[in-house]
C-alpha cells in the first residue's frame, strides 16, 4: 500500500515524515537534481509548528530560523498600523512564529528521510491509474509504481494538470520580488515580522538567521521592472526611496542576481482534490496568495491530516475525508489572503485604510490569530 509522492517541497516532505511516523510505506520524487541554497524566506506560524513538533523536528527548525515575537503592520515610514505581541500565542501553543530560509527548511526535512525513500532528479511526465496501483512515468524515461499517488508538486502541478485540466490558477494582478539581504536588523527589529504599506506598493521584512534578512516587495503588474539584475535592483531602490531608510539598506545589501520575480497567483480550493488512487495536497490543491503567510503552513497541515486519515482509512475514502476536513479552512485562508492583498493596494483612500487598521482592537486581531493557528481534532 505504498504512497508515491510527487514533489519534494515542504508539503511533500512533511507528508513523507508523517507517513514514516505512522509506519506507512512511501517514496518521494523531486524534479530538482539537487537541493540548492536558493530561494527566499518563509514564515512558519504555530499551526505549522504544532505539526513539526509532532514530526519531531521542531527544535531543529527553531534553531535554524529566527523566532518572531511581534508582528507589525506599518505605513511606509514604519509607523505601526497594528503591532501585535505574540505573548498570547505563546501562552496558548507554547511557541511563536519562526522565520526561516525556505531552502534551509527543505534541506532539514529532506535530511530526515532515509535515502531509500527519496529520489532527486525525477520530474513526473504523466501517470496511469490501474485497478490496484498507479504507474508513474518520468521525463527521463524511467517508471515507478505504487498503490497511491499524492500530488504535492506545487501550484503548477503536473498531477493536477492531468487529473483535473479544467482547474486554472487566478492572477492577482500583482508582482512580487523576493531576496535575502546580507546584514542583521537592528536589535529592536530582529524579533519582528514587519510589512510596510505604501501607495499601491508594500515591503515585508524578517530576519531569518544571522546576517540573513528575508524581504519581499509587491507592486501592481503594470509597474514592471527591467529583467537585467542590476537594473532591476536599481528600479527597486528608486521605487521604495520614499519608504523608511531600513528598506533601502536591505535592498543595498542584496546581491542583484539573487532577486527573484514572481507573479502572485492562487488556486480556488473549491475544485476537486482527488480521484480514485490520486490525491492533491498543498499548493497543488489550494494555492493561496502569500498575504497571510500561510501557504507553507497550510501544506504542512495537509500532511498532518492526510497521513492520519489514510492511516485509519486508506485510499479514496480517506482522500474524501481529507478534502471534507480541510476545505473549509483553506477556503477561508485563500479568500482572506486575496482580500488582504487587494486592501493593501487600495488606489484611493489610503489614509482611511490606514486609519481603519489602527482602530481594530488588539484583542480582535489576537483572536483571529488564535483561531487560525488552532488545529482541528482528527
Alpha-carbon dihedral angle through residues 119, 122, 123, 124, given to the nearest 10 degrees: -80
Q: Is 51 helix (H, G, I), strand (E, B) or coil?
A: helix
What whole-number distance in Å separates Cα of residue 347 and Cα of residue 84?
A: 26
Which is it for the CA torsion 117, 122, 124, 129, positive or negative? negative
What does the pLDDT look like over 255-302, one tens digit per residue? 999 999 999 999 999 999 999 999 999 999 999 999 999 999 999 999
pLDDT score recorded for residue 39 = 72
pLDDT score recorded for residue 377 = 85
Phi-psi region of 121 (alpha: psi -120 to 50; beta: other; left: phi over 0): left
From residue 276, alpha-carbon distances to 163, 166, 325 in Å are: 10, 17, 18
- Better pLDDT: 149 or 349: 149
Average pLDDT of the residues in 15-38: 94
pLDDT score recorded for residue 73 = 98
> What does pTM read for this prediction?
0.97
Q: Are 204 and 243 in contact (CB under 8 A)?
A: no
SS (H, E, C) 269-288: CCCCCEECCEEECCHHHHCC
% of the chain surpassing 70 pLDDT: 99
Max CA pair span of the chain:
62
pLDDT score recorded for residue 376 = 87
| b/e map 225-263, b = 16+ CB within 10 Å | beeeeeebbebbeebbeebbebbeebbebbeeebbeeee
pLDDT at 100 over 90: yes
Strand-strand pairing, 26-30 and 3-6: parallel
Work out the mean pLDDT of the chain and round it to a whole number: 96
> What cell does 100 get?
526561516
% of the chain surpassing 90 pLDDT: 97
What does the pLDDT look like over 32-85, one tens digit per residue? 999 887 679 999 999 999 999 999 999 999 999 999 999 999 999 999 999 999
Q: Is 209 helix (H, G, I), strand (E, B) or coil?
A: strand
Strand-strand pairing, 66-67 and 98-101: antiparallel
pLDDT score recorded for residue 170 = 97
Amino acid at each position: 500500500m505504498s504512497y508515491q509522492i510527487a514533489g519534494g517541497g515542504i508539503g511533500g516532505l512533511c507528508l513523507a515524515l508523517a507517513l514514516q511516523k505512522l509506519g506507512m510505506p512511501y517514496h518521494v520524487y523531486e524534479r530538482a537534481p539537487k537541493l540548492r541554497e536558493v530561494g527566499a524566506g518563509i514564515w512558519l506560524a504555530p499551526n505549522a509548528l504544532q505539526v513539526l513538533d509532532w514530526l519531531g523536528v521542531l527544535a531543529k527548525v527553531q534553531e535554524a530560523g529566527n523566532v518572531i515575537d511581534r508582528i507589525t503592520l506599518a505605513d511606509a515610514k514604519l509607523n505601526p498600523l497594528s503591532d501585535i505581541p505574540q505573548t498570547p500565542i505563546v501562552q496558548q501553543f507554547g511557541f511563536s512564529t519562526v522565520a526561516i530560509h525556505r531552502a534551509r527548511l527543505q534541506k532539514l526535512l529532506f535530511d530526515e528521510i532515509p535515502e531509500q525513500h527519496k529520489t532527486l532528479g525525477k520530474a513526473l511526465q504523466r501517470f496511469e491509474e490501474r485497478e490496484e496501483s498507479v504507474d508513474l512515468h518520468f521525463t527521463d524515461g524511467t517508471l515507478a509504481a505504487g498503490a497511491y499517488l499524492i500530488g504535492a508538486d506545487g501550484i503548477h502541478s503536473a498531477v493536477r494538470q492531468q487529473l483535473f485540466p479544467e482547474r486554472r490558477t487566478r492572477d492577482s494582478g500583482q508582482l512580487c520580488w523576493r531576496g535575502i539581504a546580507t546584514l542583521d536588523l537592528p536589535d529592536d527589529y530582529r524579533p519582528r515580522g514587519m510589512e510596510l504599506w505604501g501607495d499601491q506598493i508594500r515591503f515585508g521584512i524578517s530576519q531569518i538567521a544571522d546576517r540573513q534578512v528575508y524581504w519581499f516587495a509587491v507592486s501592481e503588474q503594470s509597474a514592471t521592472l527591467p529583467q537585467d539584475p542590476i537594473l532591476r535592483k536599481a528600479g527597486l531602490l528608486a521605487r521604495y526611496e520614499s519608504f523608511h531608510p531600513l528598506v533601502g539598506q536591505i535592498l543595498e545589501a542584496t546581491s542583484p542576481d539573487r532577486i527573484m520575480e514572481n507573479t502572485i497567483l492562487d488556486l480556488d480550493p473549491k475544485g476537486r482534490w482527488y480521484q480514485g488512487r490520486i490525491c492533491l495536497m498543498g499548493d497543488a490543491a489550494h494555492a493561496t496568495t502569500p498575504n497571510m503567510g500561510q501557504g507553507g503552513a497550510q501544506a504542512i497541515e495537509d500532511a498532518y491530516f492526510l497521513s492520519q486519515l489514510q492511516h485509519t482509512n486508506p485510499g479514496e475514502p480517506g482522500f474524501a475525508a481529507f478534502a471534507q476536513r480541510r476545505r473549509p479552512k483553506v477556503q477561508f485562508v485563500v479568500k482572506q489572503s486575496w482580500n488582504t492583498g487587494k486592501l493593501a493596494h487600495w488606489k484611493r483612500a489610503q489614509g482611511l485604510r490606514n486609519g481603519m487598521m489602527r482602530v481594530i482592537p488588539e484583542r480582535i486581531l489576537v483572536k483571529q490569530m488564535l483561531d487560525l493557528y488552532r488545529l482541528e481534532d482528527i
